[in-house]
């Protein structure tokens, strides 16, 4: 028997999953990670804390799977696109106004670099064509420019700037190689030309990297799944509870690992798989909507096109929602019935969302009709701005139709309205894809929310696409494990691994024309809320964004 480990670092926890050669999950475990939240959308973490959590997750997964460490033939990592800063000896360097060296990670959702993102966009450099025409403060170049401007000592002392996923493979193997996925999708590396753009770095004020020949951000760029170094170092192996030399595959961003683990799955009829016919919708704290194409497609407001950003040999367009699961959680926590509903959920041994879905489904004829509960409440759930297709990081949430009802039934309506708002944001991205020649028939949905029939049905009815569930409950972990499988030599390529280790499961099709018409009407109101948000900001702040 041979098995492979996938390690996923999300926003609030690390997870490890162990899979066999056929993609069957043998064991999994989770461990929390610490975050510091400051005013002004500042969110920081510790790379040492994250690594310790990874080690704890792997050891716990081994115990659950009851598998000997020597049977693990490869390990892969994925992570959020957070920025890790280390000194020349590999020790943490602060990214925090507190000066605390342990706080050395600028988390993906940290928006401290809004001004720097605007300044970079004002250059209109050719490189920006490959991020949908507008860079996001969630990407690494604005964050690096912020560090140079505001924490110059840390910027100058830094020996290594890593995307979090690349930090993990370095900590595991000692290799400084960066994944083509991370640097192409978040660092403005031009993978189709296999180069950094010196002119771009000079134009945006980061000429330091050109002068040092990019040594601190990556001189060796490799495809995901490439075996790194000599595998696990002795120290890392001891910390993880694995054998030294276990192959380590070059990493992926977390959503991209979910894409790899989802879109290549074998269909029930065993027919030929065309990854270009499938969109991946990876829904966690945030959400990513990813389209694979054979030729580059430039979609305004959508990140990419990225050559080999996810599937080798293909281009990737990446839409996204900065707040997805986080938006729903925030809505529910803010409702007056939150404490009562949480207590009821604990009594039934359920989480809060499962309780709400159970109550909703008990009184509607089917999942599609549940959307009608939100007939008179409308939500633009952009608590962290719009990532795509409007590329508006200053956008904020708008809620219309609230009343004084404070019971759990009112909370259910708010929940359904929030799901509808997310679905309409998804539909905006899909429409932007289609308007630029990127058409798909199936939406493969992954992440915790994908297990909900209610969520899947609302997405299907809103988009008109068939929504498919991956065969595994853990497509992100599976995608990470696939990297280890490729690095081990068990499979020749990511494509072969996708075909062998993943399948498609349950399908949700659009229900009836009446429900579709209902969503079209609500989506019109969604557009009105967006216009209201934009216009109200213009009235209060003007075109320059300064308060009047």
Backbone angles phi and psi of 525, in degrees to 5: -65, -35
Tokens 């009821």 correspond to 344
Strand partners, 37: 43
Strands 287-293 and 315-321 come out as antiparallel
Phi, psi torsion values for 450, nearest 5 degrees: -65, -20
Q: What is the dihedral of CA 531, 534, 537, 543, to 10 degrees?
A: -130
- The predicted structure's pLDDT at residue 286: 92
Radius of gyration (C-alpha) of the chain in whole angstroms? 22
Write down the H helix ranges in 123-163: 140-150, 152-157
Average pLDDT over residues 126-151: 97
Mean pLDDT of 436-462: 91
Does 123 score more than 90 pLDDT?
yes
105-106 and 83-87 strand pairing = antiparallel
Q: How far apart are CA 289 and CA 281, in angstroms?
A: 5
User: Is pLDDT above 80 for 484?
Assistant: yes
Report how far apart, in Å, the C-alpha atoms of 195 and of each of 181, 312, 539 are.
Answer: 14, 17, 43
Confidence check: pLDDT of 447 > 90: no
CB atoms within 10 A of CB 542: 11
Structure tokens at 144: 């690096």
State how far the Cα of 195 lies from the Cα of 217, in Å rounded to an integer: 12
What 3-state DSSP class applies to 307?
strand
Does 305 sit behind a cis peptide bond, omega within 30 degrees of 0 on the bond before it? Answer: yes
Residue 270 has pLDDT above 80, yes or no: no
Q: What is the band of 547 on the pLDDT scale with cuts at 50, 70, 90?
A: low
Question: 513-541 and 408-435 are packed helices; what angle lies between their axes, rounded to 10 degrees?
Answer: 90
d(CA 353, CA 332): 9
Question: CA–CA separation, 182 vs 179, rounded Å?
Answer: 5
The confidence score (pLDDT) of residue 266 equals 77
Compute the average pLDDT of residues 213-227: 97
pLDDT(84) > 90: yes
Over residues 302-337, the pLDDT tens digits come to 999 999 999 989 999 999 999 999 999 999 999 999
CA angle in degrees (0–180, nearest 5) for 511-370-381: 105
Closest CA to 462 of 198, 311, 281: 281
Alpha helical stretches, state H, 66-179: 114-122, 140-150, 152-157, 164-173
pLDDT band of 449, cuts 50, 70, 90: confident
Q: In what order do the strands lie in the sheet with 3-9?
A: 25-32, 13-20, 3-9, 72-79, 248-253
Cβ atoms of 517 and 48 within 8 Å: the answer is no
Query: What is the value of pTM for the model shown?
Result: 0.91
Supply φ then ψ for residue 512, to 5 degrees.
-140, 160
* Lowest mean pLDDT across 131-135, 228-232, 234-238, 507-511: 507-511
Helix (H) or strand (E) holding 466, with range, is strand 466-470
Half-sphere exposure of 368 (CA within 13 A, CB side): 17
Q: What are phi and psi of 337, to 5 degrees?
A: -90, 10
**For residues 177 and 203, what is the distance between their CA atoms, to the nearest angstrom?**
26
Q: Is 205 left (phi over 0), alpha (psi -120 to 50) or beta?
A: left
User: Given strand 504-508, what is the order of strands in its sheet?
Assistant: 303-307, 315-321, 287-293, 278-283, 442-446, 466-470, 504-508
Which residue has tokens 């694979």? 292
* Model pLDDT, residue 272: 67
State which CATH number among 3.40.50.300, 3.40.50.620, 3.30.460.10, 3.30.420.40 fits the domain covering 3-253.
Answer: 3.30.420.40
Eight-class DSSP state of 545 = T
Q: How far is Cα 299 from Cα 290, in angstroms, rounded to an integer?
A: 12
Show Cβ contacts of residue 364 under 8 Å, excluding neighbours closer than 6 positions: 370, 372, 373
Mean pLDDT on 191-197:
97
Average pLDDT over residues 11-25: 97
297-311 confidence digits (pLDDT tens):
999 999 999 999 999
Tokens found for residue 367: 């999942």
Considering the chain, what percentage of its residues have pLDDT values greater than 70?
Answer: 98
Answer whether residue 47 shows pLDDT above 70: yes
Where do the structural domains in the chain lie, given as residue ranges? 3-253
Average pLDDT over residues 484-488: 98
Contact present, 282 and 255 (Cβ < 8 Å): yes
Q: Which of 138, 129, 146 is closest to 393 using CA atoms? A: 138
Judge residue 350's burial from the number of C-beta atoms within 10 Å of its C-beta, 0-12 exposed, 13-18 middle, 19 or more buried: middle
Residue 445 has pLDDT above 90, yes or no: yes
What is the pLDDT of the chain when averaged over all its residues?
Answer: 95
pLDDT digits (tens, 9 = 90+) for 370-415: 999 999 999 999 999 999 999 999 999 999 999 999 999 999 999 9
Compute, in degrees rounded to 10, the torsion defined by CA atoms 490, 186, 442, 332: 110
| Residue 493 to residues 75, 221, 279, Cα–Cα distance (Å) | 15, 17, 21
303/313 Cα distance (integer angstroms): 18
**Could you give the residue ranges of the DSSP H alpha helices within 241-337?**
254-262, 325-333
Beta-bridge partners for 392: 386
Quote the pLDDT of residue 448.
79
The proportion of the chain whose per-residue pLDDT surpasses 90, expressed as a percent, equals: 90
């Amino acid at each position: 028997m041979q098995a492979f480990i996938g390690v996923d670092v999300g926003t609030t926890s690390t997870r490890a999953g162990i899979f066999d050669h056929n993609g069957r999950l043998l064991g999994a475990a989770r461990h929390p990670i610490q975050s510091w939240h400051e005013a002004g959308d500042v969110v920081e973490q510790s790379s040492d804390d994250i690594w310790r959590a990874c080690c704890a997750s792997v050891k716990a997964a081994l115990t659950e799977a009851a598998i000997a460490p020597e049977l693990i033939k490869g390990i892969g990592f994925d992570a959020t696109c957070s920025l890790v800063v280390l000194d020349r000896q590999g020790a943490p360097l602060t990214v925090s106004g507190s000066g605390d060296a342990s706080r050395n990670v600028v988390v993906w959702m940290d928006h401290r670099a809004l001004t720097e993102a605007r300044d970079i966009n004002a250059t209109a450099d050719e490189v920006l064509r490959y991020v949908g025409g507008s860079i996001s403060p969630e990407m690494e170049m604005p964050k690096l420019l912020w560090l140079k401007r505001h924490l110059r000592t840390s910027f100058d002392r830094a020996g290594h700037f890593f995307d979090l996923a690349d930090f993990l493979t370095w900590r595991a193997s000692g290799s400084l190689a960066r994944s083509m996925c991370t640097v192409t999708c978040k660092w403005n590396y031009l993978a189709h030309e296999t180069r950094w753009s010196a002119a771009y770095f000079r134009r945006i004020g980061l000429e330091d990297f050109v002068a040092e020949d990019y040594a601190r951000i990556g001189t060796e760029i490799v495809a995901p799944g490439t075996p790194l170094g000599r595998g696990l170092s002795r120290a890392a192996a001891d910390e993880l509870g694995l054998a030294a030399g276990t192959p380590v595959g070059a990493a992926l961003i977390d959503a991209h690992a979910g894409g790899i683990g989802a879109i290549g799955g074998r269909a029930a009829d065993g027919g030929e798989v065309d990854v270009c016919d499938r969109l991946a919708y990876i829904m966690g704290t945030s959400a990513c909507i990813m389209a694979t194409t054979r030729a580059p497609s430039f979609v305004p407001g959508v990140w990419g096109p990225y050559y080999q950003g996810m599937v080798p040999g293909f281009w990737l367009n990446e839409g996204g929602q900065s707040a997805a699961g986080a938006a729903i959680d925030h809505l529910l926590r803010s409702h007056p019935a939150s404490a009562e509903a949480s207590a009821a959920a604990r009594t039934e041994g359920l989480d809060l969302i499962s309780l709400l879905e159970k109550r909703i489904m008990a009184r509607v004829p089917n999942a599609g009709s549940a959307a009608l509960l939100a007939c008179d409440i409308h939500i633009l759930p952009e608590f962290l701005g719009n990532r795509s297709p409007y590329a508006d990081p200053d956008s904020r949430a708008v809620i219309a139709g609230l009343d004084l009802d404070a019971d759990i039934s009112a909370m259910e309506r708010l929940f359904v309205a929030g799901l509808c708002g997310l679905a309409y944001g998804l539909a905006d991205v899909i429409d932007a894809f289609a308007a630029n020649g990127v058409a798909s028939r199936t939406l493969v949905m992954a992440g915790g929310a994908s297990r909900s029939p209610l969520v899947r049905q609302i997405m299907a009815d809103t988009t008109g696409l068939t929504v498919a569930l991956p065969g595994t409950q853990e497509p992100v972990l599976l995608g990470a494990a696939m990297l280890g499988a490729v690095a081990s030599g068990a499979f020749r390529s990511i494509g072969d691994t996708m075909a062998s280790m993943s399948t498609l499961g349950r399908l949700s099709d659009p229900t009836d024309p009446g429900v579709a018409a209902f969503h079209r009407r609500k989506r019109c109101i969604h557009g009105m809320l967006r216009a209201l948000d934009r216009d109200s900001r213009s009235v209060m702040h003007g075109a320059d964004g300064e308060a009047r």
